[in-house]
A = this chain, B = another copy of it.
């Protein structure tokens, strides 16, 4: 067979979606309908739909049907903007710059002490298993969860300081770290994407076929890394931006 039947079915449906014959939000023919239409077994039809689902093209809802995905207006988080005051550009919290910025809410920061994973240890230049102080929080906009973040501090820096206390740090962690003698002079962001873990999938309420964006931000003094913050965003509703050079103000929001 040149092409498997389920791939043929998926291709036909995909064509209808791409061409606009099936509009976003519109219901696909039911599975029994597709069985008749393509003279296939129901399992084969379901294989085809699974393909489209994993490509993020359709979503299925039990009892209702299968629908063409509707792209959501994304929230936009600002990674950095060059030529702005360093406190802002190096802030721990990535500012939201979508029109819904006013409605952004974050949970109270939760603090724990735990062993560093391999990736955290590498960034902080410590050994895997060394204890680090972790500060976590999540963010939502209009009741839509969109961000998870966790900041990791080496124990020798954070132990016995306000970094170990839950809740807000009034002056901000960058200022606090500076007061402790660790003045941040820069940071590096490392950006990737992956399929969500089950936790991430559940927290964001994702549908199958939606990846997440991961940003690892490592902050440095002159001598050493002092903090690593990991942000996880749902890729279906979030875009990251950063600006370099002089951008006319009217372009800031895209």
Cβ-based interface call for A82 (8 A): yes
Residues of B within 8 Å of A246, CB to CB, are 185-186
- Complex-state Cα separation, A80 to B212, whole angstroms: 22
A242 in contact with B79 given A74-B192, A251-B188 (CB within 8 Å): yes
- Tell me the bound Cα distance from A250 to B82 in angstroms: 22
Whole-angstrom distance between the Cβ of A211 and the nearest chain B Cβ = 4
Looking at A223, A238, A247, which has the most chain B CB atoms within 10 Å of its CB? A247
Asked whether A240 is an interface residue with its Cβ less than 8 Å from the other chain, the reply is yes
Are B248 and A222 in contact, with the CB atoms below 8 A?
yes
Instruction: Give the distance to chain B from A240, nearest Cβ to Cβ, in Å.
Output: 4
The answer to the question of A29 belonging to the interface, with a C-beta cut-off of 8 Å to chain B, is: no
Assuming the contacts A54-B54, A245-B185, asked whether A191 and B240 have C-beta atoms less than 8 A apart, the reply is: yes
Let me know if B213 and A192 touch, CB within 8 A.
yes
Q: On chain A, which size bracket covers the interface? A: 35 or more
Nearest chain B CB to A76 CB, angstrom units: 8
* Residues of chain A from 202 to 253 with CB closer than 8 A to chain B in the complex: 208-213, 218, 220, 222-223, 225, 235, 238-248, 251
User: Which of B186, B190, B197, B198 sits near A244, CB closer than 8 Å?
Assistant: B186
Nearest B-chain residue to A211, judged by Cβ: B211
Our pick among B55, B80, B222 for the contact of A242 (Cβ within 8 Å) is B80
Q: Mark A72-102, 1 if CB is under 8 A from B, else 0.
A: 0010100110100010011000000000000
The answer on a CB contact under 8 Å between A86 and B245 is: yes
Please give me the 6 A-B residue pairs with the lowest Cβ-Cβ distance, nearest first.
A186-B245, A193-B193, A211-B211, A193-B235, A191-B240, A186-B247
